[in-house]
Structure 1
Amino acid sequence: MGKKIQAVKGMNDLLPIAQKDFQLTSSFWQAFEDTVVRWTRRFGYRQIRTPIVEQTGLFVRSIGEETDVVGKEMYTFSDSNDSLSLSLRPEGTASCLRAVVEHNLLYNSPQKLWYMGPMFRRERPQKGRYRQFHQVGIEALGFEGPDIDAEIVAMSADLWRELGISEHLTLEINSLGNREERAAHRAALVGYLSSYEHLLDDDSKRRLHTNPLRVLDSKNPDLQDICNGAPSLIDYLGEASHTHYRQFKTMLDGMGIAYVENPRLVRGLDYYNLTVFEWTTDKLGAQATVCGGGRYNGLIEELGGKSAPSIGFAMGIERLLLLVHEYGSLDDYAAPDVYAMHQGEGAALQVLQYAADLRREGFNVLQHSGYQSLKAQMKKADGSQARFALIVAQDELLKGEVTLKDLQGGLGQITVPAAELSNTLKTWKQA
């Protein structure tokens, strides 16, 4: 027997049945995907799908060469034919905007887009965070006012309500201003942090000279006093940035969406400006952020397109579904409506035909395969969690009848003419 080959560290199989180390099943996941499709349609967003592999330069230019994502976490390799540097996508916004620019989707038409799929980062796997992970992302492109900022926050809040987790999430907001305001704050921040450089940990010392805003996001408890005393970006905002932020907050207030202003909220990617936000929870340990995003008004131009205001957010599906599984509500549609069983010569073919007819009528039918006793088949029907059992044995076959049994309720067992099969099940299903 050959040696077993296991999945790559931090990359998980999604199974139809729960496992001890990973309780999310494929049916639970699919129920979430169905919810996302309905949710995005309600808000008028259309799906975009992009390749998993992109040119490395796309992420260097958009995310920033000095970020941890590009510097330490991307899976990068050379194409064997032309030595082009390629990377597995570590996030979805850059790929989405590359496609928008390449295909000129913003020509005389703003876009509201969404995507869903796998992303890849080589980081330490932990609960809810993996090396292959999945995101749902929302991108609103070509809209300048704070009303779209408020809309997409309200859009995320709408999803939390549908999933039953609103009470477990907190909205944190901030404004990063424009490029010039951030540059002025950066200079002041570097000057301030440099005076404490001897007290910074190695990660913060590296970030001090590459991405100093990220020092403020440090989780090191020994640095909290230093970070709390740092110059605040809000003090460097001009009137236009202040107005945008103030109007954004007024709209959130008007919609009854509670928030916390967090002046240290900076997000981890270089392209953000003006509005940024995160939805956080205290139910998932150290991994508090479930969804985050903000404005990136200069990114489309950076990627070769015509300048256009843009805003978006992304949520990690694994982390979100852990929260939903534990505290929320999501209907799992895995169980069939009917488990169809048979016994005796010719019964299997007849059940095949009945099952096909029922599926055309909208029923989900799981048909027993193989030849076993009705007792053994009934045991499997119970294990399938089907609502009803359809039984065709020799007596039913000869008389043109079927036997139906309610496996979950109190409707008992009856035998009816085959012509009444569908209507009987529809009546039972509504009972």
Structure 2
Amino acid sequence: MYTKEPELYIHPLSYSGPYQKAIEVAEYYGFKVIPPVRGVSSIRKDMEPRNIFHRAYYLDPVQKILMSDYINSLNAPKSTQHMLCQTRNAQKKDGGGINLSIVGNSKSISEALIIKTAISILEEHNKNNFVVELNSLGDQNSYRLFLKDFILHYRKNINEIGDCCRTHMKNNPALLTVCPVELCREIRKEAPRPINYLSEASRNHLKSLIEYLESMGLQYRINNDLIGEDYTAGTQISFVIKENDSNDPCEQKILARGERYNRYNHNNQQKKVFPTVGISIDINQSGKEEYLEEGARKNPDLYLVHLGTEAKRQSLQLIELLRKKKIQIAQSLIYDDLSKQIKRAEYMNVAHTLIIGVKEAREKTVIVRNTNTRAQEVVPIDKLIGYLRHVHRL
């Protein structure tokens, strides 16, 4: 039977309700279900999104505060990493969905994994034509320099912009990026772009994420208007998933929105700050939900161990392949440490371990190792499903 991992600060729950299908996909990718995080007294009303267009593009700031408080309440070491899943507005007829969060990991695999999970969830709900839009604001210094030049550009064109944008310049310059007025949109086309102000570390982070998206064959484009409101200053990456059914990006329906908010620290209180990536996925189903304490769980059939960045890229594709074939697998893509991966595999007592290293990623193969006998065989990925079905009866 499944053995609980050591230092498990979050005990996952079993879920039944309108988002059952989405939850199953999220759990397959390693997310643990927690109940919806409720309000806390420290939330300020002025943190609510102030613009309906902006609200469509960004994570709810209140949700980010709640998640921050929830993680702090666990009293877990800062090195602990969590993958969390919770439902949203299940009692409402419209506006419901699920939120995914990866906490404690600062590398681009977090964005790649959360985007891939979101797309798999949307595909399960018959959404199959996507484009991912993303942007990077870099570190705080990069963002500050960009914002200074961005505001200066609008001041030079103060006589051309509408009253709405003049108000935004005073109160919240980030809202200039979502003004729907045609004249303001034209001025915005000539405005400075945050991507041109990135530090080397931020450029490398964005480059790494793009390489993950390309390896998965996902359509993407840079959207310079994904900036974030003042309370998300310091957001390193913003991204949305849109239905790719229109030639005009402004008319495409947003299906999911996400951000990395590494430096988020609400109310300026001195608390532990965990690097976090979150995404909110719209499913628009409603119904009664039930959360139960998990009992004994069946062991996964396989555990996937990776070594290196190329192996992570290959692993993302392999996980989806196995999911569609209904072969259970566990993995720890957010970990780089080989010993931690092996330790998790041992606790789960899996029968077989799949290993992808640098050589295997290059040759598109995988090592299948018997956990008990240590016997292993190298199998081409395009023949892996047949091998597992025939040899190991999975």
Length-normalised TM-score, structure 1: 0.54
The CA deviation at 1:253 is: 0.8
Residue of 258, 281, 298 corresponding to 1:293: 258
1:187 and 2:144 correspond: no
Quote the residue 1:68 is aligned against: 50
Distance 1:116 1:69, change over 3 A: farther
Q: Contact 1:105–1:111 (CA<8 Å) still a contact in 2?
A: no
Question: Structure 1 vs Structure 2: percent identity of aligned residues?
Answer: 16
Name structure 2 gaps, 5 residues minimum: 1-15, 288-394
1:279 and 2:241 correspond: yes
1:307 and 2:273 correspond: yes
Letter paired with 1:97: S
1:36 and 2:7 correspond: no
Equivalent runs, 1:91-106 vs 2, <5 Å: 91-106=62-77
CA distance in 1, matches of 2:264, 2:61: 16
Choose between structure 1 and 2 for higher RCO, CA contacts under 8 A separated by at least 6 residues.
Answer: 2
Per-residue CA deviations over 1:53-108 (Å, capped at 9, x if unaligned) read 33253565xx48xx5169x99xxxxxxxxxxxxxxx87523212211112324554
CA distance in 2, matches of 1:190, 1:116: 38
CA distance in 1, matches of 2:198, 2:83: 28
Matched residue of 1:294: which SS?
strand
CA distance in 2, matches of 1:107, 1:249: 27
1:142 and 2:89 correspond: no
CA distance in 1, matches of 2:259, 2:171: 21
1:257 and 2:228 correspond: no
Matched residue of 2:236: which SS?
strand
CA distance in 2, matches of 1:164, 1:131: 19
Quote the residue 1:316 is aligned against: 282
Distance 1:145 1:107, change over 3 A: closer
Quote the residue 1:23 is aligned against: none
CA distance in 2, matches of 1:99, 1:69: 27
Q: Contact 1:101–1:300 (CA<8 Å) still a contact in 2?
A: no
CA distance in 2, matches of 1:138, 1:313: 5
The CA deviation at 1:175 is: 0.9
The CA deviation at 1:131 is: 11
The CA deviation at 1:291 is: 0.6
Letter paired with 1:309: P
The CA deviation at 1:143 is: 0.2
Distance 1:108 1:266, change over 3 A: closer
Letter paired with 1:256: G
Per-residue CA deviations over 1:186-245 (Å, capped at 9, x if unaligned) read 111111111222332233222112321220222222212100000111111111111111
Q: Contact 2:131–2:218 (CA<8 Å) still a contact in 1?
A: no
Q: Contact 1:93–1:139 (CA<8 Å) still a contact in 2?
A: no
Give me the CA root mean square deviation.
Answer: 3.4
Quote the residue 2:89 is aligned against: 118
User: Structure 1 residues 92-101 or 295-304, which shifts more?
Assistant: 295-304
Quote the residue 1:109 is aligned against: 80
CA distance in 2, matches of 1:59, 1:307: 22
Quote the residue 1:155 is aligned against: 117
Quote the residue 2:40 is aligned against: 54
Q: Contact 1:291–1:316 (CA<8 Å) still a contact in 2?
A: yes
Q: Contact 1:44–1:112 (CA<8 Å) still a contact in 2?
A: yes
Q: Contact 2:26–2:121 (CA<8 Å) still a contact in 1?
A: no
Quote the residue 2:332 is aligned against: none
Distance 1:316 1:158, change over 3 A: closer
Length-normalised TM-score, structure 2: 0.59
Letter paired with 2:241: W
Name structure 1 gaps, 5 residues minimum: 1-29, 74-88, 121-129, 323-331, 333-431
